[in-house]
Amino acid sequence: MSPHVVLKVVSKLLIPFIVVYGFYVHFHGEYSPGGGFQAGVILASALILYALIFGVEAARKAVPTAVVRVGFALGAIIYAGVGFASLLLGGEFLDYDVLHPDKAHHTGQVMGIILVEVGVLVTVTCVMIAIFYAFAGRPPEIPEEEW
């Protein structure tokens, strides 16, 4: 039996709850403190926990580096895309009111905020994972036998 079996079992139980909590923070973010940035850090922490328990290579198989690179670019494109869509519809940059033709309702505001927060979520999650991969992929400066 592996000496880390308890850590592996507990982390497999915790990671789904961490991910669900991250999405809760994201979708509840416009009503309370939270949102895309905090949720992105929480989601990245789930993968970092996975990498710490099962190894960085297992994490890179689960979320490859190429996906991370595309993710942080895509998140920025989503964020900027909402801003440019509002410009094209005759408003100012990130003026969410123009995203819905019926300005009496706040549907445009809700759509704009959620889309921008999705962009922030994707970008922050992927950037945090990329930073972790960069640090975790470095060779150790002190060999194991010298510890």
* Alpha carbon distances (Å) from 97 to 56, 91, 136: 44, 8, 44
Residue 2 banded pLDDT, cuts 50, 70, 90: low
Residue 143 is classified by DSSP as -
Cα–Cα distance for residue pair 39/105, rounded to 1 Å: 27
Domain ranges of the chain: 5-137
Looking at residue 34, its pLDDT comes to: 63
What does the pLDDT look like over 18-32, one tens digit per residue? 999 999 999 887 666
Instruction: Give the Cα separation of 70 and 57 in Å (integer).
Output: 19
Query: What would the pLDDT profile of 100-142 be if each residue is shown by its tens digit?
Result: 777 666 777 888 888 888 999 999 999 999 999 999 987 777 7
Q: What is the pLDDT of residues 34-72, one digit of tens each?
A: 688 999 999 999 999 999 999 999 999 999 999 999 998
- Please give the pLDDT value at position 141: 78
Cβ atoms within 10 Å of 121's Cβ, excluding its own: 28
What is the model's pLDDT at position 128?
97
> From CA 40, how far away is CA 126, in angstroms rounded?
8
Contact status, residue 116 vs residue 35, Cβ threshold 8 Å: no
Whole-angstrom CA distances from 139 to 62, 74, 123 are: 21, 30, 27
Q: Where are the alpha helices (DSSP H) in 28-94?
A: 36-54, 56-62, 65-88
Report the predicted TM-score, pTM, of the whole model to 2 decimal places: 0.86
**Residue 74 CB: number of other CB atoms within 10 A?**
17
Confidence label for 99 from pLDDT (cuts 50, 70 and 90): confident
Mean pLDDT of 64-92: 93
